[in-house]
Amino acid sequence: MRIIHVTEKINEASGGPARHICQLAMATAATGEATCEILGFDLKHLGKPLPTSPQVPVRLLETPRPYLWGLSWTFTKVLHELARDPEVIFHVHNLWRFPLSAANWIAAHHRRPTMVSTHGALNPYSFSLKGWRKRLPWELMEKPRIHKATVIRATSVSEAQNLAQLFPASPIAIIPVGVDLATFQPPQPRAGPKTALFLSRIVHYKGLMNLIEAWEIVRPRDWSLLIAGPDLEGYRDQCEQAVRERKLQDAIKFTGPLYHELKWRAYSQADLFILPTFTENFGIVVAEALAAGVPVITTTGAPWRDLVEYRCGWWIDIGVEPLVQALREATSLGEGLKEMGERGRKLVLEKYTWPKIAKDIISVYKWMSGKGPWPECMYEP
């Protein structure tokens, strides 16, 4: 099997989906049961392309000018060339860009199996954003092309339930995002104030204003809040202004984006991770924090009921007051935070390692190509 991961971008500031695509391709290739390649654009304004292993070739095409939803004859030509290989399976990531839609139509034309990963783009909250601009492309382009997919891939049960309402006749596979445990070292004992970490894109739906307001109310003694991540919408200025208005400059610091070793170090030096998001299809940063042995506060906008079942964090309603209550409890726990972090690392080991996830997705690829039985990870309503 030859898996072609089709995406718009895998640059550093692209967020969790880009990292996930690279890691998924590497984990799948490492099984030896399939080859994997990545095809996309090189959007240089978003930083360097993320690294992959030598087993995963990456082909990034020059971006068309002007960049109109990724309209590109070159991209279309490359897709046609790839689709002529009878071993090819297309795995198409995300929505709303021409190359992704073209991949589905071209795969259907050449009768090649296709998996679509929506990466949360069809969650009710995400779909409602700029809804008037999405309605026409949804009806004319995205909905028909997803109907053509052999399999739709969800990363959680809640996402699968939502997708099943939109596409009741389509097979849906539940395959979460994985974490490489070897990358993360448990927090080391250190002196000084404790650190709460927010690490994600600086965008409004991540709930940062709620976090800043809750921090002002709680003002936990001997704690600081570190806010890290790329600012893709100019939203950081609003957040920093909110911090100044509340006179929290000594307690809340902004670092900008953290990549590679700087990112892993931030996790290892954190005592608590907070993602007060309005919506996530998975929330890879939650899994990363747990892998680093850091307990997590996140909302029901993210599919992390595991935090409650494994007693490794707080899964709260969206809003300031639930966040205030969780912060008060978390910052008063002392050594209890370390015990929660240990349970979180155990959770990742049991459910979210790449070898397990690669095994599941290989089983789906085999079924798609007619070489295997119905996979166990398929969603059953």
Every domain of the chain and the residues it spans: 2-178+353-368, 181-351
Please provide the average confidence, as pLDDT, over all residues in the chain: 91
**In this predicted structure, what is the pLDDT of residue 348?**
94
Which residues, other chains included, contact 77 with Cβ-Cβ below 8 Å and sequence gap of 6+?
none
| Separation of alpha carbons 123 and 76, rounded Å | 28
| Separation of alpha carbons 353 and 356, rounded Å | 6
CB neighbour class for 132 (10 Å; exposed up to 12, middle 13-18, buried from 19): exposed
Per-residue pLDDT, averaged over 354-381, amounts to: 95
| Separation of alpha carbons 156 and 162, rounded Å | 10
pLDDT band at 344; cut points 50, 70, 90 = very high
Does residue 321 have a pLDDT over 90?
Answer: yes
CA dist 298 to 63, 154, 215, 312, Å? 36, 20, 15, 11
Containing 354, the helix (H) or strand (E) segment is helix 354-368
Looking at per-residue pLDDT, the higher value among 225 and 189 belongs to: 225
| Separation of alpha carbons 314 and 320, rounded Å | 14
| Separation of alpha carbons 45 and 63, rounded Å | 11
pLDDT band at 132; cut points 50, 70, 90 = low
Q: Above pLDDT 90, what percent of the chain?
A: 73
Per-residue pLDDT, averaged over 170-193, amounts to: 82
Q: Which CATH homologous superfamily contains domain 181-351?
A: Glycogen Phosphorylase B; (3.40.50.2000)
CA dist 273 to 203, 285, 365, Å? 17, 9, 35
**In this predicted structure, what is the pLDDT of residue 129?**
67
**Is the peptide bond between 113 and the residue preceding it cis, with omega within 30 degrees of 0?**
no
Query: Can you read off the two tokens belonging to residue 32?
Result: 């030896």
**In this predicted structure, what is the pLDDT of residue 186?**
67
2-178+353-368 and 181-351 share one fold: yes
pLDDT band at 188; cut points 50, 70, 90 = low
Decide if 89 contacts 114 (C-beta within 8 A): yes
Residue type, 77: K
- For the chain, how long is the longest CA-to-CA vector? 63
| 25-52 per-residue burial string, b: 16 or more CB within 10 A, e: under 16 | bbbbbeeeebbbbbbbbbbeebeebbeb
Looking at per-residue pLDDT, the higher value among 300 and 136 belongs to: 300
Angle between helices 236-245 and 208-218 (to 10 degrees): 20
| Separation of alpha carbons 355 and 54, rounded Å | 18
Containing 349, the helix (H) or strand (E) segment is helix 336-351
Q: Where are the alpha helices (DSSP H) in 187-335?
A: 208-218, 236-245, 261-268, 284-291, 306-309, 320-330
Containing 35, the helix (H) or strand (E) segment is strand 35-41
Query: Can you read off the two tokens belonging to residue 15?
Result: 């967020």
The pTM is what? 0.85
Decide if 287 contacts 350 (C-beta within 8 A): no
CATH (one of 3.10.150.10, 3.40.50.2000, 3.40.50.300, 3.40.50.11540) for 2-178+353-368: 3.40.50.2000
| Separation of alpha carbons 158 and 163, rounded Å | 9
* Nearest to 151, CA basis, from 80, 87, 91: 91
Q: Above pLDDT 70, what percent of the chain?
A: 96
| Separation of alpha carbons 273 and 288, rounded Å | 10
Q: What angle do CA 10, 11, 12 make, to 5 degrees?
A: 120
Rg from Cα positions in the chain: 21
